[in-house]
Amino acid sequence: MPGTPIVNGTSYVTVEAYSDASFQKAAEFYAKFLELDSTKKSDTETVLFNKLVTVRIVLVEDAARQQAADQQLAALEALTDTQDWRAHFNQSLVFKTTSIVNLQHSLNKLHIPHQVYPSTLLPMELYTVDPLGNVVGVTSTKNSVSSKPTDRNLSSEATAVATALQTGAKTSREPSRVHSMTDLSYRVGTTDSHPSLPKQMTPAKANKAIAVMTSGGDAQGMNSNVRAIVRTALFKGCKAFVVMEGYEGLVRGGPEYIKEFSWEDVRGWNAEGGTNIGTARCLEFRQREGRLLGALHLIEAGVDALIVCGGDGSLTGADLFRSEWPSLIQELQETGKITQEQHTRYKHLNICGTVGSIDNDMSTTDATIGAYSALDRICQAIDYVEATANSHSRAFVVEVMGRNCGWLALLAGIATSADYIFIPEKPASDGDWQKQMCDIVAKHRARGKRTTIVIVAEGAISADLTPISPSDVHKVLVDKLGLDTRITTLGHVQRGGTAVAYDRILATLQGVEAVNAVLESDADTPSPLIAVNENKITRKPLVESVRLTKSVADAIKAKDFKKAMALRDTEFIEHLNNFMAINSADHVAPKLPRDQRLKIAIVSVGPPAGGINSAVYSMATYCMSQGHKPYAIYNGFSGLARHESVRSLTWKEMIGWQSKGGSEIGTNRVTPNEADIGMIAYYFQKYQFDGLVIVGGFEAFESLHQLETARESYPAFRIPMVLIPATLSNNVPGTEYSLGSDTALNALMKYCDVVKQSAASTRGRTFVVDCQGGNSGYLATCAAICVGAQASYVPEEGISLDQLQEDIASLAESFEKSQGRTGFGKLILKTTNASKALSADKLASIITAEAQGKFDAKPAVPGHVQQGGLPSPIDRTRATRFAIKAVDFIGKQQAIIAGVRAADFQFDANDKAVEATASVLGVKSSHIRFTPIRQLYDNETEISKRMPKIIHWRETREIADHLVGRKRVD
């Protein structure tokens, strides 16, 4: 019988070779690919193994079968670069790994053909072919992606393993010997004590002391960053220090300013705004004498590495400090302030930067800590201001931060449908901006808009570098348009409050990676900056990142605005073009000639989600600017089939939709087949739609599949169709992000912050919070990181009694050690479908009973609060981006689809080009991809579970557990 399965039942497998040459090649392949040790039992049998997997290779001489194997191997190799292997086989061996990237590099070096999914930038599955013609895969997901092996090559033992999987065999959590950069568990083990602190590392690492400081302007999320750095350092057996009051604390020194922190010192910091360790400007540190004092004080405290969270100025100072370090400690030794032993011990200072800046102005990273929180404050303020503006038909000029970067003003302009924005990267001449602004505002007013919102970045300028102030804009609106105008300067409100979910997660993951970086750096390693690129935490050269950032300001000063825009990332430029397109709507002449203008319908399917209205508004206004005619299908497919609920959209009726929650065009879960697909086809034909945009979750995914499948019978569906995923569950295959998931995550996070405060006040209390998400644990996992939940239970793992017992024991120990301290509330998050037997109420009852009076547990059910509320800025701006991409996709597909729309056309449902005209718009590594619905439905979806096979967020669960000291039971 097989041993404990790893993934898809593969733990012990026998493969057959049919020639001596292939036998030898197979042994070499598996030894290198899976890092297995080899034991040769005889000339016809080799066993390769590690503690997790055993591969047995048996030689069975058979020339005919060898020829068949060679042909299969050649056929698959020929398809490597042209076709998806998964469409040509349904059997494979699949093993578990925590990092596919290392295996991918190994195969590249060995020149072995392979394919990765969903992309080479973010591989979650990797397939290659062994010398015997077998398809062999590795995956970092828990989902089953292979069926039982064939009898041609594999033994009955392997077949038994695969069969056990299909009947629900338990999978192991143990990783392979190849490890992920951000996986904390492989670096050190854990002891039996709580919290989950490590055994000693190697002597070279065990005595490391890592300090963290925050500097420059404060930003929401800095506390999460400090918390992650402190706890990760402790987890790895290092000492953790914090430097109070930024560089001033370095200069002043002593235990008052350079403090050693324990695990509990950062408890609850995720939910606190600002920076608890302080930040201050320090003129002394700009001088060498100040840096000399800073070096002395770090050595006195015994610090080996320094992590700085701040903006470009703070990080520039950090790198200068490191570059001067050898001369600083040499001077300290020569003056007798440190000993020769100290000079040798602290010969090198490793420095790493994480970017805390609300302006999002750092080059080489897609987002900075605090930027989205500041954007949230701005959008919330403008939503409030617009309500009073509407009451009095007023104009408001809103000044936002952004000295040399207009990111906040631009994104806020999109998220709130502002009439005009001023950003430093794209100024107009003094006369032009006045004329342009007045022209747009006048057109909006003439079409019935009662409010006017103009957003001014604090660094706004005209083309001659003359500053444009809110007062200047106010004067123009009053004098030239006669509008009752007010000025609102948000100021430091933008820095205030707690961090949004995105910033808490970003700061946490960057903190973990920062500790990894300083521990892996040596004297020759350039100071790294921890960035986020393509939704992945990466390391960038700190000096180069700061240089590029400063070059934007230099380009603006030189009036080279084209260069300034080029130095911004491509998404910034895309956002600017999107804002201008949707802002013009039907107020100007259409861009497209009459013969290219289309009728495009939009429908919402599934439960409501934040961002649906933003997508509808953006799709319709962009259609108008291009010359297309937008139609809304109200109340989903059932509304169309029963009531012919089709209406063309006008700009005036959609005013304010960008910032509204829910769905103004209505939504339900009814699919076309359920509503009457024949009647739907009739109305599609009647209105002569040229394209369809579906916004929704898994029901929308199924709806697109049904429409694509029905094309052969109904020519009306032979039009480009695209799905914009929108569901809080974030369970739509083909994308890593769905509209509404960020809004729901923020709603759940705020709810958890409140109940955690209640738990802390009551003392000795735990809340079991029931999270929505269907069969997806995305919300519970991400919320666990955001709020520091003690445990999270998700459907992908279920709730084992052993793990539950361990979690209850850990809670008891934690409360016992709290000794009545404040802020000691605990949370356990549970996705509703994590267990059918254990509801939140029953789980709370079990925990209370098992606690034996030491503490108690109460259920907390936020319910549909997670679906409601105003959409977050992330959901609003991404909805705009998705909608415009969807409309462009429909336009580009017209040439392909034109010839197959006739009823008498011999329709080929398997034509790849036609198949691609019905696609899911997905975000994969921050890039937008269109994937044919048929490929996703057939190859990448667990239909019965309503889930994708690839779980892109699973790795973050381990980090969430380690940062709260949770012990996992395998």
Let me know: does 46 contact 38? Beta carbons within 8 Å.
yes
Is 65 annotated to bind a ligand? Reply is no
Let me know: does 762 contact 964? Beta carbons within 8 Å.
no
pLDDT class of 166 with cuts at 50, 70, 90: very low
Is 294 annotated to bind a ligand? Reply is no
Residue 729 has pLDDT above 90, yes or no: yes
Residue spans of the domains in the chain: they are 12-166, 203-367+499-551, 378-495, 585-739+871-939, 743-867+955-962
Across the range 705-729, mean pLDDT stands at 95
- Residue 86 φ/ψ, nearest 5 degrees: -65, -20
Question: What does the mean pLDDT of the chain come to?
Answer: 86
- Structure token digits, residue 294: 């800073």
pLDDT class of 760 with cuts at 50, 70, 90: confident
441 vs 419: CA distance, rounded Å: 6
Distance of CA 139 to the CA centre of its chain: 19
The strand pair at 350-355 and 528-533 is best described as parallel
3-state secondary structure 473-501: HHHHHHHHHCCCEEEEECHHHHHCCCCCH
β-partners of residue 770 are 830
DSSP 305-366: EEEEEE-HHHHHHHHHHHHHHHHHHHHHHHTTSS-HHHHHHTS--EEEEEEB-TT---TT-S
Across the range 194-200, mean pLDDT stands at 39
Across the range 132-157, mean pLDDT stands at 52
Nearest to 212 by CA among 234, 194, 196: 234
Buried b (16+ CB within 10 A) or exposed e, 619-652: bbbbbbbbbbbbbbbbbbbbbbbeeebbeebebe
CATH topology of domain 585-739+871-939: Rossmann fold (3.40.50)
3-state secondary structure 553-615: HHHHHCCCHHHHHHHCCHHHHHHHHHHHHHHHCCCCCCCCCHHHCCEEEEEEECCCCCCHHHH
pLDDT class of 98 with cuts at 50, 70, 90: low
Nearest to 292 by CA among 346, 254, 332, 337: 332
Let me know: does 854 contact 815? Beta carbons within 8 Å.
yes
Is 706 annotated to bind a ligand? Reply is no
Residue 774 has pLDDT above 80, yes or no: yes
pLDDT class of 151 with cuts at 50, 70, 90: very low
Angle at 375 (CA atoms; ends 370, 378), nearest 5 degrees: 130
pLDDT class of 569 with cuts at 50, 70, 90: confident
694 vs 79: CA distance, rounded Å: 33
Across the range 527-540, mean pLDDT stands at 89
pLDDT at 114: 85
Is 311 annotated to bind a ligand? Reply is yes
Buried b (16+ CB within 10 A) or exposed e, 838-847: bbbeebbbbb
pLDDT class of 87 with cuts at 50, 70, 90: low
Cβ neighbors of 420 (< 8 A, separation 6 or more) are 413, 436, 437, 440, 441, 454, 455
Q: Which residue type does 206 have? A: A
Is 350 annotated to bind a ligand? Reply is no
- Structure token digits, residue 574: 């895309």
Instruction: Report the catalytic residues.
Output: 359
Is 114 annotated to bind a ligand? Reply is no
Is 200 annotated to bind a ligand? Reply is no
Let me know: does 942 contact 949? Beta carbons within 8 Å.
yes
Is 435 annotated to bind a ligand? Reply is no
Residue for token pair 């929401």: 220
* Fold match between domain 203-367+499-551 and domain 743-867+955-962: yes
Q: Distances from the Cα of 750 to the Cαs of 497, 504, 509, 657, 940, in angstroms?
A: 12, 12, 20, 24, 33
Is 866 annotated to bind a ligand? Reply is yes
Q: Please provide the distance, in angstroms rounded to a whole number, between the alpha carbons at the two ends of the chain.
A: 20
CATH number for region 12-166: 3.10.180.10
Is 821 annotated to bind a ligand? Reply is no
pLDDT at 164: 30
410 vs 421: CA distance, rounded Å: 7
| Range of weakest confidence among 371-385, 528-542, 616-630 | 528-542
pLDDT at 521: 87
Is 352 annotated to bind a ligand? Reply is no
3-state secondary structure 555-569: HHHCCCHHHHHHHCC
Across the range 798-818, mean pLDDT stands at 88
pLDDT at 35: 78
DSSP state of 862: -
Let me know: does 232 contact 293? Beta carbons within 8 Å.
no
Is 835 annotated to bind a ligand? Reply is no
Is 267 annotated to bind a ligand? Reply is no
Is 853 annotated to bind a ligand? Reply is no
**Looking at per-residue confidence, does 282 or 49 come out higher?**
282
Q: Distances from the Cα of 924 to the Cαs of 182, 295, 535, 598, 884, in angstroms?
A: 19, 44, 8, 29, 17
What pTM did the predictor assign? 0.80
β-partners of residue 941 are 948
Is 313 annotated to bind a ligand? Reply is yes
Architecture of domain 378-495: 3-Layer(aba) Sandwich (3.40)
- Residue 35 φ/ψ, nearest 5 degrees: 55, 55
pLDDT digit string, tens, across residues 776-797: 999 999 999 999 999 999 999 9
The strand pair at 536-541 and 528-533 is best described as antiparallel
- Structure token digits, residue 296: 């002395």
Percentage, residues of the chain above pLDDT 90: 62
Q: Specify the CATH class of 743-867+955-962 in words.
A: alpha beta
Collapsing DSSP to helix, strand or coil, 50 comes out as coil
Is 402 annotated to bind a ligand? Reply is yes
115 vs 131: CA distance, rounded Å: 16
Cβ neighbors of 54 (< 8 A, separation 6 or more) are 3, 11, 12, 13, 47, 48
Is 494 annotated to bind a ligand? Reply is yes
Is 729 annotated to bind a ligand? Reply is yes
CA 794, 800, 802, 806: dihedral to nearest 10 degrees? 20
**Looking at per-residue confidence, does 166 or 846 come out higher?**
846
Is 946 annotated to bind a ligand? Reply is yes
Is 867 annotated to bind a ligand? Reply is yes
pLDDT class of 823 with cuts at 50, 70, 90: low
Cβ neighbors of 329 (< 8 A, separation 6 or more) are 295, 299, 338, 342, 343, 346, 347
How many H-runs (helices) and E-runs (strands) does the chain carry?
32, 32
pLDDT at 64: 87
pLDDT class of 767 with cuts at 50, 70, 90: very high
Q: Specify the CATH class of 203-367+499-551 in words.
A: alpha beta
pLDDT class of 50 with cuts at 50, 70, 90: confident
pLDDT at 969: 83
Is 718 annotated to bind a ligand? Reply is no
Nearest to 297 by CA among 249, 263, 265, 228: 249
Let me know: does 383 contact 659? Beta carbons within 8 Å.
yes
pLDDT at 679: 97
Is 772 annotated to bind a ligand? Reply is yes
| Range of weakest confidence among 78-82, 121-125, 226-230, 565-569 | 121-125
291 vs 278: CA distance, rounded Å: 19
